[in-house]
Chains A and B, each alone.
Chain A
Amino acid sequence: NFVLTQPHSVSDSPGKTVTISCTRSSGSIASNFVQWFQQRPGSSPATLIYEDNQRPSGVPDRFSGSIDSSSNSASLTISGLKTEDEADYYCQSYDGTNLVFGPGTKVTVL
């Protein structure tokens, strides 16, 4: 089994760009697709990114996902930060049928 590690929190001002990393402890990050979820306070999670970098219909292109094999990490980048982006963000991947979620990153818009 592997673990996904995320920073506990990130913050920046409106209009800025923030990047959340998701590092896989063992096995290649590129071997299995990564999803990203957003959970606003008091709400259900919502899918932001699937298949590493695909956005569902309705998700703004301010959100983008990428994979970096050199650091064995996935990243979620939020550009043009808005107050409505204040939320918890979770990455998720798998190995076979074993699905693993990251611990979540709290994004604060200053």
Chain B
Amino acid sequence: EVQLVESGGGLVKPGGSLRLSCAASGFTFSDAWMGWVRQAPGKGLDWIGRIKSKTNGGTTDYAAPAKGRFSISRDDSKNTLYLQMNSLQTEDTAVYYCITILLWFGEAPIYMAVWGTGATVTVSS
């Protein structure tokens, strides 16, 4: 069974940093494109970005609000995806989900197959 379990969430002050982890199991992690989506309290879903498999170059792409502040990386030896978040603001308060991307068209994910359990990040003074 494919499982994604996020960790590392918590309370952080504005301007602070946090690193989320996503432990993957049940599939060949190194072959997978992976991504992050977030959901602010009571709001809809927002795309953060994705990382390709190393076979496909291992490159990253980010939504505009995440560029320059957020960084996605992976450790295939640990089957783990990371989201490094810097210069956090109150509007970054959200549940952060990692996802597996099974299909893509060009550079865009077109099938986000599995969603993680979510990690809650609260940015507040």
Contacts and interface: CB of A to CB of B under 8 A. Distances in A.
Nearest to B106: A96
Interface residues of B, number: 23
B45 A97 contact: no
A39 B114 CA distance: 13
Nearest to A52: B110
Given A96-B107, A99-B47, A44 B61 contact: no
Interface residues on A, range: 20 to 34
Interface in B64-114: 97, 103, 105-114
A91 B105 CA distance: 17
Interface in A32-70: 32-33, 35, 37, 44-47, 50-51, 54, 56
Secondary structure type dominating chain A contacts: strand
A51 B45 contact: no
Contact of B108 (A37, A45, A96): A96
Given A99-B47, A103-B44, A32 B113 contact: no
Contacts of A104: 44-45
Interface of A: 32-33, 35, 37, 44-47, 50-51, 54, 56, 90, 92, 94, 96-104
